[in-house]
Amino acid sequence: MHHESYCKSYGFGGGIAISKMRQQKIWDNLLVKKVTKGTVFGKWVASGISLDSRNIKKGEIFVAFEGERVDGHDYVLEAFKNGAVAAIVTRIPHDCDEKKHNLIVVKDVLRALENLAIFNRKRSKAKIIAVTGSVGKTSTKEQLKLVFSKFGKTYSNIGNYNGRLGLPICLASMPLDTEYGIFELGMSYPGEMEARSKVAQPDIAIITGVFACHIENFDSLEGIAKAKAEIFRGMGKSGVAIVNGDNSYRDVLIKEAKKHDLKKIITFGEGKNNDSILTSCKALSNCTEAHAEIFSKSVKFKLMSYGIHHAVNALGVLSAVSILKLDLKIAAKALSKFNNVKGRGIIEEVVTRTGKTIHLIDDSYNANPTSVRAALVVLGEVGAGKRKLAVLSDMRELGSIAVEEHKKLREPIEKHKIDKVITVGPLMKNLYDALPEINRFKHFASYNEVVGEIDKLVENSDYVLVKGSNGTMIYELVNYLKGKK
């Protein structure tokens, strides 16, 4: 579908390409008929699967998913005009003809998609590494992709294709000659991770940590830990679990992994009782330098990003490399190319509309108490001698702990010597009221109000952090500062 509103409603960004690997035959009409048990028209071969009629590649299968507000069947003809070789539908669209168009008519589009993904996974010889966690899963996935591409043909989901539609689309599009498949698995409710895991069937599963994220959908943080641990349910007994050993729910994760008789359970973190240990981490002028012990083997690596959390998560990546008996030196060198993902902490020099040069820390993709604290650490570390300004928007989905968690942000703001704080939204008003007068800058009801005044509030050479939940649309402030609005 080409409507961006549809894509955002279901966790997709308009125009995302599923893979940058060369196109190759993955499906044909007879195999799709066998796997989906649908009625298949025409004779054809396909190189992948797409949900986006506007940016579909020639030779891909279009998925006509029927959402709450937009029906993919309305975009099937457009998909064919833009290069689709076939389309998965539950009915023949009024503007299509089975004699002219290669349609795959099924009872349930999502089920058909999952069956294609599971079949493609089972026939693949690739080692599948899945990553989840309350924070850091996307950046860890990007680290994994960087590293494993040095060892063989590597494929991964990109953007936020990690949910009930995105994950099977990616898996069903995985080229047959893939050697390493890297997949981020997301969830918001109990039971979702189990479903994702049974589609991906990981050989190695990495859990970056368990924190207050989507907690309004769970009874407790332990409930979130057990839901994350559902990632083990799709794994065979030879599978390997790699978990953050510094996390408060380490024992819960390990216990859940043992329930599924996994071959190995590995821990990583700063604590000396972990299998992989971060022994030092230092922020330099243009990178982060770290030393680690990976199963007692000394490794030095650099990251083109700031924040100890990225270095800690890199231990999970290096642990996976070691488990697969690959070269740690090559992996460490590959990590030196890692920079933050867009919207997740990239630092850019920006010239505002009024001619002021600022350093913008774009961490606007999403927010929870842990990720906000990590972002404040980074803001405190960079730009020695410059003014530090944090623009913080509401953290959503915190349920009954929301007010208190916003107030608690006062502590890291003071600890890391953040000079001024702009708060946005009704929940962040609690933080504004809790802050010392010296740190209060201004409070706004919405991102629109901030956009209207930000040019007057920033000063030349400021380091400006923008952080908040997606639903607050604080990313529009980033677009404004970059001149895109």
Parse the chain into domains and list their residue ranges: 4-108, 124-335, 346-481
What's the pTM? 0.79
CA 326 to chain CA centroid, nearest Å? 25
Q: How sure is the predictor about 283, in pLDDT bands with cuts at 50, 70 and 90?
A: confident
Q: Are 436 and 443 in contact (CB under 8 A)?
A: no
Cα dihedral 354, 356, 362, 367, rounded to 10, equals: -70
Q: Euclidean distance between the first and final Cα of the chain, in Å?
A: 25
Q: Does position 22 have pLDDT exceeding 60, yes or no?
A: no
Point out which residues pair with 361 in neighbouring strands: 347, 465
The correct CATH number of 4-108 out of 3.30.460.80, 3.30.460.10, 3.40.1390.10, 1.10.3720.10 is 3.40.1390.10
Q: Write down the architecture of domain 346-481 according to CATH.
A: Alpha-Beta Complex (3.90)
Q: Return the bridge partners of 79, or none.
A: none
Look up residue 411 and give its amino acid. Answer: E
Tens digits of residue pLDDT in 307-334: 888 999 999 999 999 999 999 999 999 9
Q: How confident is the model at residue 23 (pLDDT cuts 50, 70, 90)?
A: low
Integer Cα distance of 465 and 368 in angstroms: 15
Q: How far is residue 64 from each of residues 91, 215, 454, measured CA to CA in Å?
A: 10, 32, 42
Over residues 416-468, the pLDDT tens digits come to: 999 999 999 999 999 999 999 999 999 999 999 999 999 999 999 999 999 99
The helix or strand, by DSSP H or E, that contains position 428, with its residue range, turns out to be helix 428-434
pLDDT tier for residue 215 given thresholds of 50, 70 and 90: low
Please report the pLDDT score of residue 219 as a whole number.
65
Which tokens hold the place of 93? 């669209």
**Beta-sheet pairing, 39-40 with 103-105:** antiparallel
What are the tokens at 426?
A: 């009704």
| CATH code for the structural domain at 124-335 | 3.40.1190.10
3-state secondary structure of 457: helix
Contact 46, 26 (CB under 8 A): yes
pLDDT at 224: 87
- What is the phi/psi pair of residue 357, to 5°? -95, 120
Predicted confidence (pLDDT) at residue 339 exceeds the cutoff of 50: yes
Strands 276-283 and 264-269: parallel
Burial of 30 (0-12, 13-18, 19+ CB in 10 A): exposed
